[in-house]
Structure 1
Amino acid sequence: MSEPSVRWAEQQVVKRRVKRDFLPRATTNYRSTWMNDPKWPQMWYLNRGASLDMNVQAAWAEGVTGKGVVVTILDDGLEKDHPDLIKNYDPNASYDVNSHDPDPMPRYDLVDSNRHGTRCAGEVAADANNSICAVGVAFEASVGGVRMLDGDVTDAVEARSLALNPQHIDIYSASWGPDDDGKTVDGPGQLATRAFVEGIRNGRGGKGSIFVWASGNGGRDQDNCNCDGYTNSIWTLSISSATEKGRVPWYSEACSSTLATTYSSGSLGERQIITTDLHHSCTSSHTGTSASAPLAAGICALALQVNRDMTWRDMQHIVVRTARPENLEAPDWHINGVGRHVSHRFGYGLMDSYAMVQLAKNWTSVPTQRTCEVDAPHVDKLIPQKSFVTLELDVADCPGVNFLEHVQAKVSLTAERRGDIEVYLSSPAGTKSTLLAQRPHDNSRSGFHSWPFLTVHMWGERPLGKWKLEIHNNGHFFTNGKAEVKEWSLLMYGTETEPGQVVPTLTGEHPSSVSHASDHTAHQVVDTTEGKTETRDPDTETTDYTSSAAPPTPSPQPLQLGSIKKALPPGCSRVDASGACIECQKDDYLHDGKCLQSCPESHYAWNPQEKGLAGSLTCRSCHYSCRSCLGPQDYDCTVCWGDAELYSPFEGQNHCHPRALLDAYRNQQSWYTALLFLLLVLLVLVLILAVMVLRSRKASSHLPLNLSGVPNLGKMGSKKPTANGSTGYTPVSRSDSDQLMTKVPFHDLTSDEEI
């Protein structure tokens, strides 16, 4: 049925999403005794020193503890009243998506299956020096929890979790993903993808939400995390694990999208991670890449504390520049085209807290992110069994991209058995990445359809020159395991100028107004959906869409407001060099560089003065499900789009749910009501029938014993009339007793019958 008002619709399906822990198979050396938390001496990954830990104590020694930074754990719930978490618990960073209420408390069962989120939260922000359990990496950061894994996980559930309160939450930590079984290829749906894009574009006042993701535990099944669309994404900071001895854990997945590593569990005899647990307890056995991602989130919180102006891309650049490859043993360490060590197992190495904090203090935000896509000639190249093809692509021009960050090879191919395929990408500088290794358990014939294999190994290299895509088919002849490349292209992300260089300031502006350490820094991020570049002031959240790759040319004379007063747009009191308004008059709302008397559709009015901040009234985006709203959350809707209607499961919460889903839900509820009524009627009928049967049996038991038809009845005894009309009884003779026992059925008498 065609509906003109329907912009997009999709049936929600339940997805398999697994937590990335597992059941176990069977620099300066700072003193580690100043913490009074009982488990502190055993926290080897934080206190070994000698470059054998993540250098957290050196950051703490400078007073950097994550204070003011908000981290939320997307998981199965959070025991918010845990004595080691309650001090840092943040209700504004918490929500129960499974039950649609603000309380993220986990559901308790006999096996504590929902302990995962509480364990991850303790790694980030367990309180320090309180004589309880352990200590978090960022022990003064605020921590929240989103309960979203304890129920059906759909695209909408993921989107609501990823989009929770993006102006308040700085870092989202996720230790889950599709099945790590070596045969699944899956990633975010349309709604979750949109939540990611909205997060990096608009989160944190335009600086972008920081998403930290566990790379996966499919090592035993030879899985590859480039088949996981969450870790294989430019928007996430993908984290792998190293054991206590600096080795590759048995559960670790190798892939070219992993950016860096933190410590976690290993083989028998190697220690695991200590953290908070359910029932106000403590555990020394947190494991897997599930334990690695929260440690990374805590370290990012330390860096973010010293520079609140860092963008989501700044954080990735800092991780790449400071990660340490030493003391990590892997067979595939190699040096890329700009001299950095990188591995498919460990990314750029072990995260270094102190180095990240020091670099963040004086960090200049990276230039605007640019993208260019280069399509390869249509190939339809057949790859016979036990052979490979090398496809070359000359990149002569990549406008706006001179220094690479992420590189994606979008590949479409068919294969009789997908697990037989290997894919490699080589850059013009000679750096070779394994985009896909063999997966023995993957018997699918689905192939890949424009799947964006990601590599971060070319970070900092130049894009121009000859790229090589090498595809191996390891199929067997007796299975007719042919493969064919249908098409492929390169999607390259990067910057026009080298990151880390000082960006010229506008003449006439005070240096502090554009310094990265100021509250008035302009942060630039890419709009990956519409090709727009946004420049946002964190106080007023103004937006300047430009099409030029280069920064504006500084004016040779100071920019005087009086000289351009006549050119000011209506309601505007101050503009930037491009003429876009950055400050409105008292009662006007700033939106997209213009001053409006009221906010447009799908936006709400935000007053920075209510938060104690300076700046103009601003129009901010509603949640994508709302046509109009009172705030940024999905429960702040006031008017819905044409295909949805308001639904209020709790007082003060107004969601916009698709009308078709609500109708289906209501129809289902009516069927439940009818079915329940029918069951009650049947139950009443059964009870009536049972009563009638019992009464019938009792009535039959009071009838006189009918002995007719028994032979020789007169000899055994009978009742005869007496002279006065009464009835007498002739006893049974002894000689007839055996005959009585064999001829008369046995019958238990009730007490009434005996009388």
Structure 2
Amino acid sequence: MSNYSPVILLSIFCIGLLNACGLNNAPQIDFPDSNDIDYSSNRRASYNFDCKTPSSINLGIISDEYYPNQYFLNQMKVKEAWKILLNENKCFGNNVKVTVVDSSIDAKHEDLDKNMDISGSYNFITGVSGSIAEPQKNHGTSVAGIIASGANGFGVVGIANKSRIQSYNLLNNNTDANKLIAMNTSGDVSNNSWGPSDRYPILETINSNLKIGIDEGIKNGRDGKGTIYVWAAGNGGKNYNNSNYDGYANYRKVIAVGALTTQGTQADFSEKGANLLVSAPGDAIYTTKITPQTFINNDCNGINCRYTKTFNGTSAAAPMVSGVVALLLEAKPSLGWRDVRLILARSASKIDSSNSDWKQNGDGLWVNHQYGYGLVDAEAAIKLAKNWANVATEVSYTTSQHYTINNKIEYTTPANSVDFTLSIANGQTNLSSLESVELIIDSDHSYWADLTIVLISPQGTKSVITETHLCNQQCSSQNGQSLSGFVFSSARLIGENPIGNWTIRIEDGFKKDSGTVNKITLNLHGT
């Protein structure tokens, strides 16, 4: 006996009657229970790569419907990376676990169901592990599709299409306590296509529980090699926002990712910042979305209703990087979290080459506030990783300086900046090669958005930390906004030697508000 309910049986009878009577212009309805309905009927034949013998896999048989539309696979040289892995008997990120911290994922989706790690997932609505909530929004499903949609004849192909997806639907119940849980997973990679609101360009301090969770994941994840945290840089570019104002995306232990257009230039919504590590496509992305409850002619604006062709934002760019990281970890599982960061930076492609912001840092690496070190290059990253020697234990060094004279910051005509200097002499630290720098300024300036702050390394590399910008009166000390205590970061100084004079140059670009700088602290990290 069929398991259909009386309502569904009646509907099927009615549809059959309409067809029998020649009334086949009526809308055709599919029902959503994937256990009862064969979604693949009347569609191209499915296939499934066998990772038992990767070297025998023929990429030429990939025939997923929208595979030709996934331009980013070419832009990031993902197909070339696949070929390298297959030749080394590796297989599309096989069994690398990627935690998608987002809204809930459609675990029954035809393109995702085979790659879902339900036992490793967590339902924040019920507080139950090994469970996935029914999705209400497309976002998490679209993010997951970029990473791990199967190469199976359906829809789209994920960058790491043999990786395992864990659904952590934090955005369905985003409490402080849940943030701590969400950052502590069994996943190898944690994708975070979310962050504070981009409405106003204000300072957003990282949540303390979330920071603790990341620190624990870095220390204990992947058997001590560290979970890889990938973070969307932010979509507030049109609102004068800068990714460095976001304490989530600018945390030195995450990989901040900017978004590109289909032409490979900065998307206008993508936030720039000295904290950006790399960029990836984030415009007109074909990916999965929630399987709708009903289908009308199985067509949604010219595309199958289970998919979208308009997913965009740094939300789309971040999972591009997570997918590449999954490939990288399959290629070389021994890589530590810092090794992954360095490999991505050193193998990235310089794009939009006429952009005037491209500068070589003291180690000869090209870097740009809009792009970080450039477009993620999967092929180059895999090749670089092959003979990569893991970096030594991290060395950190903190230096600070109090200022009592010539420390006034105010608007002047003509414009005049004030330089503050911190010096590191030979022998003061064992650090010789930087990986990241944090800047903390203790200041009583009453409107920080008036200020342009530039950090200049001993080798002359400039990191623009803040820029004078409009803030709709949201950035004043009266609204609780203050430079003091906020941690800015720069990822632009990879490979540089920290010895010498550091300059912090500050200029006030608007009248009325003023203040003093009392103390500046630099936290330097590397080897």
- Give me the TM-score of the superposition, normalised by structure 1: 0.57
Picking from 257, 261, 265, the partner of 2:275 is: 257
- Is 1:444 the equivalent of 2:476? yes
Cα distance change, pair 481–256 in 1 and its aligned pair in 2 (3 A):
same
* Displacement of 1:290: 0.2
- Is 1:490 the equivalent of 2:522? yes
Give the Cα–Cα distance (whole angstroms) in 2 for the partners of residues 32 and 41 of structure 1: 13
Give the Cα–Cα distance (whole angstroms) in 2 for the partners of residues 106 and 361 of structure 1: 40
* Contact kept? 1:328, 1:349, Cα under 8 Å: no
* Contact kept? 1:371, 1:401, Cα under 8 Å: yes
* Contact kept? 1:246, 1:328, Cα under 8 Å: no
Cα distance change, pair 78–391 in 1 and its aligned pair in 2 (3 A):
same
In structure 1, the gaps of 5 or more residues are 1-30, 48-52, 109-113, 266-271, 496-755
- Is 1:275 the equivalent of 2:297? no
Give the Cα–Cα distance (whole angstroms) in 1 for the partners of residues 377 and 282 of structure 2: 15
Give the Cα–Cα distance (whole angstroms) in 2 for the partners of residues 198 and 160 of structure 1: 11
Q: Deviations over 1:438-462 (max 9, x none)?
A: 2311432232122221011111010
Higher relative contact order (CA 8 A, sep 6+): 2
5 Å-filtered alignment, 1:291-302, equals: 291-302=316-327
Larger Cα Rg: Structure 1 or Structure 2?
1
Picking from 153, 164, 180, the partner of 1:131 is: 153
5 Å-filtered alignment, 1:410-489, equals: 410-441=440-471, 442-445=474-477, 446-476=481-511, 480-489=512-521
Cα distance change, pair 330–182 in 1 and its aligned pair in 2 (3 A):
farther
* Contact kept? 2:409, 2:445, Cα under 8 Å: no
Give the Cα–Cα distance (whole angstroms) in 1 for the partners of residues 126 and 205 of structure 2: 24
Q: What is the match of residue 46 of structure 1?
A: 73
Q: What is the match of residue 83 of structure 1?
A: 110
* Displacement of 1:475: 2.0
Q: What is the match of residue 190 of structure 2?
A: 172
Picking from 134, 142, 145, the partner of 1:119 is: 142
Give the Cα–Cα distance (whole angstroms) in 1 for the partners of residues 353 and 123 of structure 2: 39
Picking from 141, 164, 171, the partner of 1:142 is: 164
Q: Deviations over 1:639-676 (max 9, x none)?
A: xxxxxxxxxxxxxxxxxxxxxxxxxxxxxxxxxxxxxx
Give the Cα–Cα distance (whole angstroms) in 1 for the partners of residues 200 and 158 of structure 2: 33
* Displacement of 1:342: 0.2
- Is 1:389 the equivalent of 2:389? no
Picking from 381, 398, 404, the partner of 1:356 is: 381
* Displacement of 1:418: 2.2
Cα distance change, pair 328–105 in 1 and its aligned pair in 2 (3 A):
farther
Give the Cα–Cα distance (whole angstroms) in 2 for the partners of residues 35 and 329 of structure 1: 36
1:488 corresponds to which letter in structure 2?
I
1:159 corresponds to which letter in structure 2?
L
* Contact kept? 1:213, 1:238, Cα under 8 Å: yes
User: For 2:340, what is the secondary structure of its paired residue?
Assistant: helix
Q: Deviations over 1:355-389 (max 9, x none)?
A: 11112222211011000001113347211224421
Identical-pair percentage: 31
1:122 corresponds to which letter in structure 2?
G
Give the Cα–Cα distance (whole angstroms) in 2 for the partners of residues 330 and 492 of structure 1: 29
* Displacement of 1:32: 8.8
* Contact kept? 1:322, 1:355, Cα under 8 Å: yes
- Is 1:407 the equivalent of 2:443? no
Aligned CA-pair RMSD? 1.7
The worse-fitting range, judged by mean Cα deviation, of 208-217 and 245-254 is 245-254
1:163 corresponds to which letter in structure 2?
N
Give the Cα–Cα distance (whole angstroms) in 2 for the partners of residues 351 and 55 of structure 1: 9
2:520 corresponds to which letter in structure 1?
W
- Give me the TM-score of the superposition, normalised by structure 2: 0.81
Q: What is the match of residue 104 of structure 1?
A: 132
User: For 2:320, what is the secondary structure of its paired residue?
Assistant: helix
2:356 corresponds to which letter in structure 1?
P
Give the Cα–Cα distance (whole angstroms) in 2 for the partners of residues 32 and 255 of structure 1: 38
* Contact kept? 2:105, 2:135, Cα under 8 Å: no
Give the Cα–Cα distance (whole angstroms) in 2 for the partners of residues 412 and 157 of structure 1: 31
Q: What is the match of residue 636 of structure 1?
A: none
Q: Deviations over 1:585-609 (max 9, x none)?
A: xxxxxxxxxxxxxxxxxxxxxxxxx
* Displacement of 1:327: 4.2
1:494 corresponds to which letter in structure 2?
G
* Contact kept? 2:205, 2:486, Cα under 8 Å: no
Runs of 4+ in 1 over 6 A off after TM superposition: none
Q: Deviations over 1:132-163 (max 9, x none)?
A: 11000000111111011123x23212111111
Give the Cα–Cα distance (whole angstroms) in 2 for the partners of residues 77 and 439 of structure 1: 36
Give the Cα–Cα distance (whole angstroms) in 2 for the partners of residues 274 and 410 of structure 1: 41
1:222 corresponds to which letter in structure 2?
Y
* Contact kept? 1:124, 1:294, Cα under 8 Å: yes
* Contact kept? 1:95, 1:104, Cα under 8 Å: yes
The worse-fitting range, judged by mean Cα deviation, of 451-460 and 343-352 is 451-460
Give the Cα–Cα distance (whole angstroms) in 1 for the partners of residues 207 and 266 of structure 2: 31
Q: What is the match of residue 161 of structure 1?
A: 182
5 Å-filtered alignment, 1:178-217, equals: 178-217=196-235
* Displacement of 1:322: 0.2
Give the Cα–Cα distance (whole angstroms) in 2 for the partners of residues 310 and 356 of structure 1: 12
Give the Cα–Cα distance (whole angstroms) in 2 for the partners of residues 251 and 326 of structure 1: 18
